[in-house]
Structures are given as C-alpha cells and as structure tokens.
Structure 1
Amino acid sequence: MQHFFVTPSQVEGDSIRIEGADVNHMKNVLRMKVGEAVMISDGNNLKYRCRIAGYEEECAVLRVEEEMLVDTELPSKIYLFQGLPKQDKMELIVQKAVELGVCQVIPVAMKRSVVKLDEKKAKKKAERWQQIAESAAKQAGRGCIPEVQPVISYREALSKAAELNVLLLPYELAEGMKTTKEVIRKILPGQSIGIFIGPEGGFEREEVEQAMEAGAQVITLGKRILRTETAGLTVLSILMFHLEAE
C-alpha cells in the first residue's frame, strides 16, 4: 500500500486533502485510481487507512476508513551527527538511518572532512537529502519524516548535542567492548540520544576530547575499523535492538 505524509491540518474529520507534488505522483506516476487504498501519516503519531475519493485541480481527496496510532517510532529520539563524507555517501547514510529509526540527521563539517560546500551547494545538497529522507520514511512506514539539517560546524554540533541525555562517540582507538555494552545497557527508553560519527579520516584527537568535555561517552564497535557510512548505521542498529527489546 502506498504511504504518504500530511500535516494534521490537512485532516478534516473523515476527509484528507493532499496537495503539492504528491498529487502528481499519485495521479500521473503511480496512476492511482479512485477507490484505491492508501496509508496516510500525519507526523503526529496518527496514521489513517484511506481510499481515494477523487481528484480535484491540484488536490487529491481521500476518505478515511480507519484511524490508528503509529507504532513504528522508537521510544527514544536519536540524532545522528554525521561527519560530512565524500561523494554521495551521505545519501546512503540518510536513507538507511531513516529506515533504522533516526529522528534527525545533522551533517557536520569536521577537521578531516574533505568535502567543502559553499552556501549554494550546501542548500542544494540539504534539499536532496531531505527528499531521500521522505522517500525512506514512506518505504519504512515511519510515522514522521525525519529532518535532515543544513551542514553545521563541529562547535555548533557540540552545542546542539548538549541538550541531549546521552552522547555516544564510536572511536577506532577506543577499547573495551565490555564497557561499551554497559554504556548501551544503561540507556533508557525515552532518553534523547546523540551519535557522533567522524568522516572518512576519522576524528582528530582534539575533537574527541572536546566531545568528551561536552559529556560524550567514547565507545568501541569492535576490533574492525568501520567506514563512516557503516559506523553510524551500526550504532543505530544496536540502539534499535536495545530500545525495542520490550
């Protein structure tokens, strides 16, 4: 069943009106007919099983058949602070992070980030990443569309992370899997969690120290060195398994 997102204001009793690019996608790309079933999420913990009642000019009108609570979101909000990688790796990271339940992806310009984006390129990239996040959210049946933030500096990332309950920083020089397991075990559902991932070249030692001063816990992901596009997804997978254990 096709899945689309609306805002709560677009839900009016037993009727939902879809506008914008989704209308063209439904009508001309998917060629969805009147009477076809569709799932709608309002981004506010509710989803609706609907059928297409008809098309109007630049609008699709849906008839609600069933209202349900969303049960696909993790019990904790997880923020991925991703060191800006090369090429199109960020697209893969955003897609898979959304599938694994991330709340927000924040690209971070770190000292070893090779890619340097000017304001125009950064804006264009952010728009592309947000489109990927929306598509992944639809595919995964998410109850909301995770936000991909504009690229920020490492200092700004640490300031934003200070608001969170738990900060994790996987580091290739860290040791002690027992300690890492204990750190993960102590994370409780409902706590907000930040994950810091370095770019291809990893973290500068100074960046690790700054994160630790901000309250980050340095952890290891094992004896193997993981690529930047693998490390964050590994932590997200571990947290998903841990938080949904009940």
Structure 2
Amino acid sequence: MYRFFVEPSQIKDNQICISGSDVNHIKNVLRMKLKEEILISSGEDKEYTCYIEEIGEEEILAHIMYVQEAGYELSSKIYLFQGLPKSDKMELIIQKAVELGVHQVIPVASKRAVVKLDKKKEEKKITRWQAISESAAKQSKRMYVPEITNVMSFQQAVDYAGKLDIVLFPYELADGMKKTKEIIGKIKPGQSVGIFIGPEGGFEESEVALAKEKADAQVITLGKRILRTETAGLTVLAILMYTLEE
C-alpha cells in the first residue's frame, strides 16, 4: 500500500486533503482510482488507513477508515552531522540513514571537506536531498520525513550538537573498543544522540578538541579498520538502531 505525508492541518474530521506534487504522482504516475486504499502519516506516530474519496485538479481527498499507533520510530532522536563528501555520496548516506531511523541530517562544511557549495548550489542540493529523504521515508514506512538542514560550518554544528543529550565522535585515531561499547551501552531510550562523521579526509585535531569542549562529544572508535565516510555514519546508526529499538 502506498504511503504519503501531510501536515496535521490537512486533516479535518474524517478527511485528509492531499496537495502538492503527490496529486500528480497519485493521478498520473500511480494512476490510482476512487476507493483505492492508501496510508497517510502527518509526522506523528500515527498511521491513517484511508481510501481515495475525491480526485480533483489540485487536491485529492482521502477518507479516513481507521487510525492506529504505528510505533515505527525509534524512541530516541538521532542527528547525523555529516561532513560534506565528494560526488553523490551524500545521496546514498541520506537514503540509508533515513531507512535506519535518523531524525535529522546536518551537512557540515568541515576543514578537510573538499566539496564547497555556494548558495545557489546549496539550495539545489538541499532540495534534491530532501526529496531523497522523502522517498526513503515512504519506502521504509517512516512516520515523518527527516529534515535535511542547510549546510552548517563546523562551529555551527558543534553549537547545535551542544543541545543534545549525547554526542558521539567516531575518530580514526581513537582506540579502545571496550570504552566505545560502554559509552553506547549507557545511552537510554528517549535521549537525543548526535553523530559526527568526517568527510574523506577526516577531522582535524582542532575540530575534535572543539567538539569535546563545546558539545561534550565522546570520542569513540569503530574498530581497527578505516571506514569510508559513507560507511561510518551508517555503521553507528545501525548499532544505535539495534541498541535502542524497543
């Protein structure tokens, strides 16, 4: 059954009004008809099973058949601070991070990031990345579409992460898997968790020191092997999903 996302304001009584690009997708791509059933989420941990009641030019009305608590989301909100990678790696990272339960992805322009985006390029990238997030959210039965924020400087990212309960900082020069297991094992369901992942060149020592000072980041290791930037964040997310899944 196909899934769509709406804002809470689009739900009134027993009807949900679908607008925007989903109208064209339902009418002309999926070629759905009246009475066909769909799933709708409004960003809450609820799932609306509906059937298509009306198909208009600019909106589609769906009638709510029943509502259920879906429970698909992790109890903790996980924030991925991803150093800007080369080529289209960010698209893969976003797609898989959404599947693994990330709450928000924050692109970070760290010192060793080769990719530099001007304002025009950044806007196009964010639009593209947000569309990938939505597609992955639909495929993986997420209850909302994780936001891809504007690109932050490393300082901005650290300040933002300072508001979270736990900040993990995988670093290739760190050691001590026992300590890493202890840190992750102490994370409790409901706590917000930030993950900092460097670009291809990794982080500079000054960035590690800043994250520890300003965001109380905990430096961890992901093992004896060096992981690519597109692998490292997904590894941590998979570990956290296993640890925090209820």
* TM-score bracket for the superposition, by shorter chain length: over 0.9
Query: Is contact 2:45–2:143 with CA below 8 Å preserved after alignment?
Result: yes
Partner of 1:92: 92
Describe how 1:90-239 pairs up with structure 2 within 5 A.
90-214=90-214, 215-239=216-240
Alignment-mate amino acid for residue 37 of structure 1? E
Residues in 1 aligned to 2:165 and 2:17: alpha-carbon distance in whole angstroms: 38
Residues in 2 aligned to 1:166 and 1:20: alpha-carbon distance in whole angstroms: 37
Alignment-mate amino acid for residue 71 of structure 2? D
Q: What displacement does 1:45 show?
A: 2.0
Residues in 2 aligned to 1:141 and 1:13: alpha-carbon distance in whole angstroms: 24
The normalised TM-score by structure 2 is 0.98
Q: What displacement does 1:235 show?
A: 0.2
Q: Per the alignment, in what secondary structure is the counterpart of residue 105 of structure 1?
A: strand
Q: Per the alignment, in what secondary structure is the counterpart of residue 51 of structure 1?
A: strand
Query: Is contact 2:45–2:72 with CA below 8 Å preserved after alignment?
Result: no
Residues in 2 aligned to 1:217 and 1:9: alpha-carbon distance in whole angstroms: 40
Query: Is contact 2:40–2:47 with CA below 8 Å preserved after alignment?
Result: yes
**How many residue pairs were aligned?**
245
Residues in 2 aligned to 1:204 and 1:70: alpha-carbon distance in whole angstroms: 42
Pick which of 53-62 and 116-125 moved more.
53-62
Pick which of 45-54 and 171-180 moved more.
45-54
Residues in 1 aligned to 2:107 and 2:56: alpha-carbon distance in whole angstroms: 39
Residues in 2 aligned to 1:71 and 1:44: alpha-carbon distance in whole angstroms: 10
Q: Per the alignment, in what secondary structure is the counterpart of residue 239 of structure 1?
A: helix
Q: What displacement does 1:35 show?
A: 1.4
Moved over 3 A (4+): none
Q: What displacement does 1:54 show?
A: 2.0
- Give the RMSD, CA atoms, in angstroms: 0.8
Residues in 2 aligned to 1:186 and 1:20: alpha-carbon distance in whole angstroms: 43
The normalised TM-score by structure 1 is 0.98
Unpaired segments of 5 or more residues in structure 1? none
Pick which of 110-119 and 48-57 moved more.
48-57
Alignment-mate amino acid for residue 184 of structure 1? I
Q: What displacement does 1:241 show?
A: 0.3
Q: State, as a whole percentage, how many aligned pairs show the same letter.
A: 62
Alignment-mate amino acid for residue 144 of structure 1? Y
Q: What displacement does 1:47 show?
A: 1.4
Q: Per the alignment, in what secondary structure is the counterpart of residue 87 of structure 1?
A: coil
Alignment-mate amino acid for residue 21 of structure 1? S
Alignment-mate amino acid for residue 158 of structure 2? L
1:23 aligns with 2:20: no
Residues in 2 aligned to 1:97 and 1:11: alpha-carbon distance in whole angstroms: 29
Could you give the per-residue CA deviations for residues 191-228 of structure 1, whole angstroms, max 9, x where no partner exists?
11000000001111111111111200000111110000
